[in-house]
Amino acid sequence: MAVAGGKGTLRLHTHGLLDLLWVPGAILEAEDAAEALAATMRLSAGRRLGLIMEIVGVTLEAGARRQLRALRFVSAVAVVGATDVDRVVAASITRGNPCPHGFFLARSEAIEWLRGRPAISC
């Protein structure tokens, strides 16, 4: 499903994981992040699932970072990026969040990491 006015897509991955893919080059504001998080909660239907969040080339405004740091209803977050800038963006949204999180350069590594995690909530 499209989220944030088409800036991202959200789906339930075949491995039972939530998959949030932001469009490269998107500039995300607080409202975009809030809409994506609400859609994620609806799609998970109360289950504590792992979340893959792909952020290649995405710019996060301060409000979007705050929204994403508040993510507490998943079991873990695997952020996928391609550059050192993406790594810094990932750190800005996971800093202070008690959810297990990791940064990965490949989706396959992120999926493997999430599938190996216990189903606990943050």
Cα(87)–Cα(4) distance, integer angstroms: 22
What confidence tens digit (pLDDT) does each residue in 7-50 have? 999 999 888 899 999 999 999 999 999 999 999 999 988 888 89
Q: What's the pLDDT tens digit per position in 48-106?
A: 889 999 999 999 999 998 888 877 778 889 999 999 999 999 998 878 777 888 999 99
Residue 69 resides in a domain: yes
| pTM of the predicted model as reported, rounded to 2 decimal places | 0.88
Q: Is residue 63 part of a domain?
A: yes
Q: Is 121 left (phi over 0), alpha (psi -120 to 50) or beta?
A: beta
Range of the domain at 65: 2-115
How many structural domains is the chain composed of? 1
In a domain, 106, yes or no: yes
122 inside domain = no
In a domain, 120, yes or no: no
Q: Does residue 94 lie within any of the structural domains?
A: yes
Angle of CA points 55, 77, 47, to nearest 5°: 125
Indicate which CATH number applies to the domain containing 66.
3.40.50.10600
H, E, C per residue of the chain: CEEHHHCEEEEECCCCCEEEEECCCCEECHHHHHHHHHHHHHHHCCCCCEEEEECCCCEECHHHHHHHHCCCCCCEEEEECCCHHHHHHHHHHHCCCCCCEEEECCHHHHHHHHHCCCCCCC
Is 103 inside a domain boundary? Answer: yes
Cα 117 to Cα 3: distance, rounded to the nearest angstrom = 27
Give domain status of residue 102, yes or no.
yes
Q: Which residue has the tokens 């979007």?
A: 64
